[in-house]
Amino acid sequence: AQSVTQPDIHITVSEGASLELRCNYSYGATPYLFWYVQSPGQGLQLLLKYFSGDTLVQGIKGFEAEFKRSQSSFNLRKPSVHWSDAAEYFCAVGGGYGNKLVFGAGTILRVKS
């Protein structure tokens, strides 16, 4: 069965510091991988996605993620965090009939000034 693990429930970083959010997945075939961001009380916004090809993908708002098949990971990174990045981040894996997505439990990012 498909599953996604986000090991960190909360992360606090200083504004201007680098960020890495971890995501590990379990999927029986080549996965489609996604990172979404959610501000409080809002829907989810797509940050980036990986389907195939270059394992380092660029997204919106200066985020990037690297797919590592050997580690079953798809970690999200940003070189310099801004206060507006404070939100909850979800990793998801999908594919197959109906393109259903399985989400991780999310990581809440707090940015301190």
Partner 1 sequence: SQTIHQWPATLVQPVGSPLSLECTVEGTSNPNLYWYRQAAGRGLQLLFYSVGIGQISSEVPQNLSASRPQDRQFILSSKKLLLSDSGFYLCAWSTRGGETQYFGPGTRLLVL
**Interface residues toward partner 1, by CB under 8 A:** 32, 34, 36, 41-46, 49, 51, 90, 94-95, 98-106
- CA 35 vs. chain centroid, Å, equals 4
As measured in angstroms, the least distance from the Cβ of 46 to partner 1 is 7
Q: Quick one: 51 or 83, whose CB is closer to partner 1?
A: 51
Could you give the count of Cα atoms lying within 13 Å of 23 in the half-sphere of its Cβ?
30
As measured in angstroms, the least distance from the Cβ of 47 to partner 1 is 11
The residue written with tokens 């997945």 in the block is: 25
As measured in angstroms, the least distance from the Cβ of 29 to partner 1 is 13
Tokens of 16: 């201007």
Q: What is the DSSP letter of 31?
A: P
